[in-house]
Structure 1
């Protein structure tokens, strides 16, 4: 009977996975057929001898507390995954700005662009200048944490407070792992599928425990792989993987002078290039239970909130704990 029940469970999981896959719809490069949770606006950027569109959401509260916060997405995401965070911040009086970086979400996917974290920071500042915002709180998750750190270093007068949620780049990946050319990274991106994305997220984000609410963020990635536009998306993904690997912010974190909060899920083991490191080095990479503490010591006066047994996505996996830590710091 035990084996029968186990077999039934496995079959149900497979059927569920196949059903979800069958419901996937191809998504074009700029997600024009996917509706974001809030109205989307665009600015035109004249950048690197071309005109690009940068998308952003501007969520205004019914009753303002006079404060503004900007939410910066990670590499495998876009601004839409901040939906619950933005709603709750807006309910508490915050105006919430949520950009999609160039190369991500509904923003342009240029075929030729010299990506850098400094360039992404400049692009982000252009959105704020368009909105005439000169002071705000900045929250960055994952790669967005690297953008947020660079932004705070370049525009300290603009940043009232800084929050880094499981940021990557807390170690120098190029000193630990072998280099991967952009061409090889592109070939790797082209191989992605619904199943490969899900397996990665299960391992690194959710401790092999899948919940239905995770599907919408997985489907945004997987839907791209079904589109004729996917090579363009994959190329941009390869270019941005390269800057994560080659442009560490870890050596400059000590120069951050704005009040900073680190929200760290300690189960996270994310590290770019880990599969290209030796087995001994792999075991030392992405140890967030250590990286959080180390980073707190680097950023003078910073505060650390560790979320035990939580992975790379606290604001999805354990939202109430994440929001509690965030609101305590910014209220």
Structure 2
């Protein structure tokens, strides 16, 4: 009891510090946040809007092996959070491309945009065409796992291998008891988002109570988008993206995957999308990512499951070297 009480006090103090710390405004498109490689741009039109997508393109820093790996970020992440993974892959001879999806990070957030994983997959395919990428190894983390699955379903000939890292969408949380939340309520929730709430959520769900100073950079990145005078544009995009996640899982379509698939799952991940909004009596029915993955691997033809026992939702951030070894193993035929 004493140990748990001490942890609660330490956590409260840490989150109080986060709440009172000054959040630096970084711009709705992260104009004042540095990425770990030069930012490139893919410009096109979508739904009648001119849009541009930021992306990072690392060339191989060892003898090139001819394989391109595409890294797709999650909702609370950006292309920048793949930095350690991308550098490790480049050092092994891979070309690595990491885009910021429309609505996220440095990429466009058009007013009134109808976000869907189909639209994102089509934009990603066009970006890869423009970058001269052929058949790729596709790696999707968290919300990026839904997108990677949708991309592989739409464009199987373009995917040599699919790797899903603690993906959402393997279960339909609405069918498991999470009530549908309309856009107005999602916007109201986003209005309350700040550094303290971001850190509290990630501490519990992503990092199993073990916060490290290196994670603060990613909290500052997210909170900095909300902090400026154009923060409402970010809040609206984030609300629309949450609506996309809750209504467009890929669980029912997993048996249709026709590409070699590996799931890399940090077993200490407590993420269950919007489970806390379910009635208390039903929350136990809403599966966490690791629980959903155990069922999903049996529904995806010839899928493999790599369990990372001591890691949470973001193994590439929490333990970059361990994750890189797992990823390299997943990409080995």
TM range (shorter): over 0.9
Alignment of 1:250-265 (within 5 A): 250-265=251-266
Higher relative contact order (CA 8 A, sep 6+): 2
The offset of 1:279, in angstroms, is: 1.8
SS at match of 1:240: helix
The offset of 1:19, in angstroms, is: 7.9
Deviations 1:277-298 (A, max 9, x none): 1223211323334322211101
Alignment of 1:145-184 (within 5 A): 145-175=145-175, 176-184=177-185
Q: Which residue of 1 aligns with 2:46?
A: 47
CA contact (8 A) 1:268 1:286 kept: no
CA contact (8 A) 1:135 1:157 kept: yes
CA contact (8 A) 1:162 1:259 kept: yes
CA contact (8 A) 1:142 1:165 kept: yes
Following the alignment from structure 1 to structure 2, what is the Cα–Cα distance between the partners of residues 288 and 308? 13
Following the alignment from structure 1 to structure 2, what is the Cα–Cα distance between the partners of residues 55 and 128? 12
CA contact (8 A) 1:21 1:194 kept: no
Which segment is superposed worse, 226-235 or 83-92?
226-235
Q: Which residue of 1 aligns with 2:71?
A: 71
Q: Which residue of 2 aligns with 1:277?
A: 278
Deviations 1:85-125 (A, max 9, x none): 00000000000000000000110011111111000000100
For structure 2, the residue ranges without an aligned partner over 5 or more in a row are none
RMSD, matched Cα: 2.1
For structure 1, the residue ranges without an aligned partner over 5 or more in a row are none
SS at match of 1:128: helix
Q: Which residue of 2 aligns with 1:292?
A: 293
The offset of 1:271, in angstroms, is: 1.9
SS at match of 2:297: helix
The offset of 1:275, in angstroms, is: 2.0
CA contact (8 A) 1:269 1:286 kept: no
Q: Which residue of 2 aligns with 1:94?
A: 94
Q: How many aligned residue pairs are there? A: 326
Following the alignment from structure 2 to structure 1, what is the Cα–Cα distance between the partners of residues 322 and 11? 31
CA contact (8 A) 2:207 2:269 kept: no
